[in-house]
Amino acid sequence: MKCTLPPGRYYIGDICYALKNDIYDDIWGDVYDYSDGKFEVDNSVFAVAGTKYGDGGYKGSNGFIYDVDAGVIGMVHEKLMKMDHYEGGGTMHTFTENVSFSCYDGLFIIESNNFYLKINTDNEE
């Protein structure tokens, strides 16, 4: 799975911690059956894919341990977040150019301009 997201400020991590509950359950769940992909909601976007082995702690190439409790890692634009800022579980980053989000066999790659992040969910911390 690979997609491109527009510039903006995004949460990176398990989307259960950041995505507004009504979007998580009513749109991603009820409409899209919690599937992998890129989803546009209210003129904004989020992308998500399943980890290789479900829940756990997965170390990113930035040294951060991404906590996973819903078996997924994704990117959520700040407009779709349930709070103005997020503390714990994931990271926040502002992209000034389009950003590529991809996941193949549990290996997540997020890159844009001078930003590169790899999260290998084949290895739990």
pLDDT of residue 97: 98
pLDDT of residue 83: 74
pLDDT of residue 85: 54
- Tell me if 125 is assigned to some domain: no
- Residues spanned by the domain of 12: 2-120
Average pLDDT in the 59-78 region?
96
At 14-49, the pLDDT tens digits run 999 999 999 999 999 999 999 999 999 999 999 999
- Tell me if 77 is assigned to some domain: yes
- Tell me if 69 is assigned to some domain: yes
Which comes out higher in pLDDT, residue 115 or 83? 115
- Tell me if 113 is assigned to some domain: yes
pLDDT at 125 over 90: no
pLDDT at 11 over 70: yes
pLDDT of residue 38: 98
Number of continuous H segments (helices) and E segments (strands) in the chain: 1, 11
pTM of the model: 0.94
- Tell me if 51 is assigned to some domain: yes
- Tell me if 114 is assigned to some domain: yes
d(CA 39, CA 57): 25
d(CA 37, CA 103): 10
pLDDT at 119 over 60: yes
Work out the angle at residue 105's Cα, subtended by the Cα atoms of residues 65 and 118, and round it to the nearest 5 degrees.
35
- Tell me if 116 is assigned to some domain: yes
pLDDT of residue 89: 84
CB 92 within 8 A of CB 10: yes
Per the structure, the count of domains in the chain is: 1
pLDDT at 117 over 80: yes
Residue type, 120: N
At 76-87, the pLDDT tens digits run 999 999 875 556
d(CA 28, CA 48): 10
CB 106 within 8 A of CB 120: yes
